[in-house]
Amino acid sequence: MEIKKIFVAGAGLMGGGIAQVCAQASYDVIMRDITDDILNKSLKTINWSVGKFVEKGKVAGTVDEIMGRLHVTTDLGAAAEADFVFEAIIENLEAKRALFAELDKLCPPHTIFGSNTSAIPVTEIAEATQRVPQVCGTHFFSPVPMMRAVEIVKGLGTSQETVEIADKLCQSIGKETIRVNLDVAGIVLNRLNFPSTIEAIKLVEAGVTTVEDIDKGMRLGFGRPMGPFETADMAGLDIGYNAMLAVYRETRDPKFHPPMLLQRKVKLGQLGRKTGIGWYRYDENGQKIGPAD
């Protein structure tokens, strides 16, 4: 099956990034969110990021050519033209199921759906549609234009053909794929990463060391581009918290239980870069200005 038109549901951190890499790879893209304000903000970010890629010669074409392939709308009906849908809306089972049920009615029979969920089993989302074999997980990492991995997740009813098509599509947009044969909460990479992030928070909670020193240590000692607190601030503390909780609920394994300090920060609305404060403080341009406390 040839994929020509891509529909991206959600213009937040992940949806915007997915739409960008698809447009950069010459696909026709329609990105949908619920308000024009959100879409315009996302377009501004994408335009800036595409500019950087063009400037460094990392993508073919001009900013105008790439942005010209990316259309935005608040109308879900625009999905009727899509060959493939990437879903990147809020991490909420009911919201995702409602969206997939609508998309199922609107999209042609051949359309394949890929969900970017980190923690909800794809099987539960797919079940809201009449096309269970054509629904899989396509789990990107943030920031999407920079991070090359995508987990291709097979739900219980996902067909092998769908997995192959999603895998090929993700490779065609410059990603390397990791095959995941069962839709466990947290998938594979977060299941590996969460215990380390949780331990980092516990070490700060216990006063053993600081947020900045852990981030510095993980950068300089393990060669990571960012430490766990910097990563959490970029992804959103609420996103990480909810994903940890979902993995804990599924596994009942205490190593995935979100620590108290993280829970308190989420309750306070200290969600990271998007709210100007998380583990660090940020200025109005999203630049880090110092520790939160």
Ligand X SMILES: NC(=O)c1ccc[n+]([C@@H]2O[C@H](COP(=O)([O-])OP(=O)(O)OC[C@H]3O[C@@H](n4cnc5c(N)ncnc54)[C@H](O)[C@@H]3O)[C@@H](O)[C@H]2O)c1
Contacting positions for ligand X (CB under 6 A): 9-15, 32-34, 38, 88-91, 95, 99, 116-118, 139-140, 142, 235-236, 239
Query: Which residues share a beta bridge with 291?
Result: 280
Q: Amino acid identity, residue 137?
A: G
What end-to-end distance do the CA atoms of the chain give, in Å? 53
Pair of tokens at residue 234: 């970029």
Cβ 114 vs Cβ 8: under 8 Å: no
190 an active-site residue? yes
CB of 90 to ligand X, least distance (A): 5
196 an active-site residue? no
Q: Which residue has the tokens 């660090």?
A: 280
Active-site residue, selected from the candidate residues 139, 181, 196, 199: 139
Active-site residue, selected from the candidate residues 42, 115, 190, 242: 190
Which lies closer to ligand X via its Cβ, residue 150 or residue 204? 150
CB of 89 to ligand X, least distance (A): 4
Query: Which residues share a beta bridge with 71?
Result: 30
Cβ 185 vs Cβ 247: under 8 Å: yes
115 an active-site residue? no
The residue sitting closest to ligand X, measured at its beta carbon, is: 12
Total residues belonging to the chain: 293
Which lies closer to ligand X via its Cβ, residue 204 or residue 245? 245
Q: Amino acid identity, residue 38?
A: I
Which lies closer to ligand X via its Cβ, residue 29 or residue 54? 29
Which lies closer to ligand X via its Cβ, residue 46 or residue 54? 46
Query: Which residues share a beta bridge with 225?
Result: none
Active-site residue, selected from the candidate residues 118, 193, 230, 257: 118
| Catalytically annotated residues | 118, 139, 151, 190
